[in-house]
Amino acid sequence: MPSIPMNQAIREALHEEMARDSSIFVLGEDVIAHGGPYAVTRGIAEQFPDRIRQTPISEAAIVGTAVGAALCGLRPVAEIMYVDFITCAMDEVVNQMAKVRYMFGGQTDVPVILRLPSGSARLIAAQHSQSLEAWFMHVPGLQVAVPSTPRDAKGLMKSALRGRDPVMFIEYKRLYSVKGEVPDTEYVIPFGQADVKRQGEDITVVASGPMVGKALEAARILSAEGIELEVIDPRTLVPLDTDTIFSSVEKTNRAIITDEEVRRGGSSAELASRIAEECFDYLDAPVRRVAAADVPMPFSPVLEKLAVPSVEKLLAAARDLVA
C-alpha cells in the first residue's frame, strides 16, 4: 500500500469520485491557485476545468450557493479556508443546509460537503485555530466526519461524496502532511463505523482527529508500564457508533475521551455523558476528558503548547484512572 499524506488522500477521493459522478462541483477561495492553501484541490482545474470555481471572500454566499446548487442537482464540495470562518456562514449551515430536508417534509436531498480545515497549527492564534465539532453535532441534520488518517480521510470522503446528506468534513490542518498507508484499490468507509485503532484491556480511549495519534503514542508508553489502552476512533461523530464504544467500555470499565476542542461544551462532553449514562454499571472509575484549555488559542508557542491537549495529559489521566 502506498503511503501518502492526508491532503493527497482527500485529493484522490475527489478526483476519483469526480470521474465517476459528473454532478460533483468544487468551490471555495483560492481553490484553483495552488489548489488552495492545503493543495487539496490541486489538479482539479486541469482535469475538470468546468467543475471548479474560485470564489470571492464570501463565506455566506459560498455555503448558501452550495446548498442551493445541491437542491437543484449538483453535489457541491466547498472549502472554507479555516473552520473559524464558518462563523461567517452559520445561518446558511444551520438554518438552511441542516434544516431544509426536515422543514420541507423530506422533499429534497441536500448533498453538500463542507471541507473545514481545523485545529491548531503553525501558531496562528485565536481566529485560525478553532475546532468546532461540538457545534455541528448539536445541529440536527448535519453529519460530522473527523478523519485521523489518510486512509480514513479518503474512505470517508468517498462515502460523503456518495451520500445524500450534508457533511461537515473536519480536516485537521496538522494532519494534512502526515503520511499513512492507503489501499490502492477502491474502498469506501461508511459513516457511523468507529475504528478500533488499537486493542487493549485496561482503558478505552475515544480519540478523534489529531488526538488519535497522541493516544496511540500514549498507549505505547503505557504499555511498557503494563497499562493497555484500547484506542477507538469514532471517525464520524454524527452518526456515532456507540455500539463499538460501549462494548469497549464494558470490557475495560474505564474511559477517557480526548479531542482538540475546547473542553467546556466540547464533543467530549456528549461522548462522556453518553458513556456515563449507558455504561454506568460497568464503570470502575469516572470518565475522564482530555481536551483543549478553555481559552481562545494563544499565539505564543509556550502558551499554545499548554492549551492543546498533549500526550503527557493523556498519560496522567490514564495513570490516574488505574491508580
Ligand X SMILES: Cc1ncc(C[n+]2csc(CCOP(=O)(O)OP(=O)(O)O)c2C)c(N)n1
Distance of closest approach, residue 81 Cβ to other proteins, in angstroms: 9
Q: Enumerate residues 137-176 that contact other proteins by CB under 8 A.
A: 140-141, 143, 163-165
For residue 163, count CB atoms less than 10 angstroms from its CB and return exposed for 0-12, middle for 13-18, buried for 19 or more.
Answer: middle
264: contact with a copy of itself by CB under 8 A:
yes
Rounded to an integer, what distance in angstroms lies between the CA atom of residue 79 and that of residue 117?
A: 8
Residues 34-63 that bind ligand X (CB under 6 A): 57, 59
Q: For 128, phi and psi rounded to 5 degrees? A: -135, 25
For residue 316, state whether it binds other proteins (rule: CB under 8 A). Answer: no
Tell me the sheet residues that pair with 292.
262
Amino acid present at 133? E
295 binds other proteins (CB under 8 A): yes
Q: Number of helices (H) and strands (E), helices first, in the chain?
A: 12, 14
Residue 268 interacts with a copy of itself (CB under 8 A): yes or no? yes
Is 116 among the residues that bind a copy of itself (CB under 8 A)?
no
Instruction: Please name which of 223, 217, 216 lies closest in space to residue 202, comparing C-alpha atoms.
Output: 223
What is the nearest approach in angstroms of a copy of itself to the Cβ of residue 133? Answer: 9
- Cα dist. 296→88, 117, 299, 312, 314 in Å? 18, 17, 9, 21, 21
Q: Is 206 in the site for other proteins (CB under 8 A)?
A: no
Stretch that binds other proteins, among 51-59, 208-216, 219-227, 252-260 (CB under 8 A): 51-59
x-marked contacts with a copy of itself along 57-86 as a string, rule CB under 8 A = ---------------------------xx-
The verdict on 134 binding a copy of itself (CB under 8 A) reads yes
Distance CA 54, CA 280 (A): 51
Binding other proteins by CB under 8 A: which of 2, 3, 19, 91?
91
Helix extents (H) in 74-231: 90, 100-103, 133-137, 150-162, 210-224
Cβ-based nearer residue to ligand X, 19 or 126: 126
Contact call for residue 87 and a copy of itself (CB under 8 A): yes
Number of chain positions touching ligand X (CB under 6 A): 6
What are the residue numbers of the active site? 128
Examine residue 296 and tell whether it contacts a copy of itself (CB under 8 A): yes
Which one of 95, 108, 177, 199 is in contact with a copy of itself (CB under 8 A)?
A: 95
Assign residue 296 a region (left: φ > 0; alpha: ψ between -120 and 50; beta: otherwise).
beta
- Cα distance between residue 323 and residue 313, in whole Å: 15
**Judged by CB under 6 A, which stretch of 45-53, 80-88, 113-121, 162-170 contacts ligand X?**
80-88
Q: Which of residues 57-86 bind other proteins (CB under 8 A)?
A: 57-61, 63-74, 76, 84-85
- Residue 127 in contact with a copy of itself, rule: CB under 8 A: yes
Which residue, chain included where needed, has cell 503514542?
217
**Cell representation of residue 68:** 442551493
| In the complex, least distance from residue 88 CB atom to ligand X, rounded to whole angstroms | 5
| β-sheet with 113-118: strand ranges across | 52-54, 24-28, 75-79, 113-118, 167-172, 143-145, 236-238
Binding site for a copy of itself (CB under 8 A): 84-85, 87-88, 90-91, 93-95, 98-99, 102-103, 125-127, 134-135, 137-141, 238, 261-262, 264-270, 272-273, 276-278, 280, 283, 285-289, 294-296, 298
The contact set with ligand X (CB under 6 A) reads: 29, 57, 59, 81, 85, 88
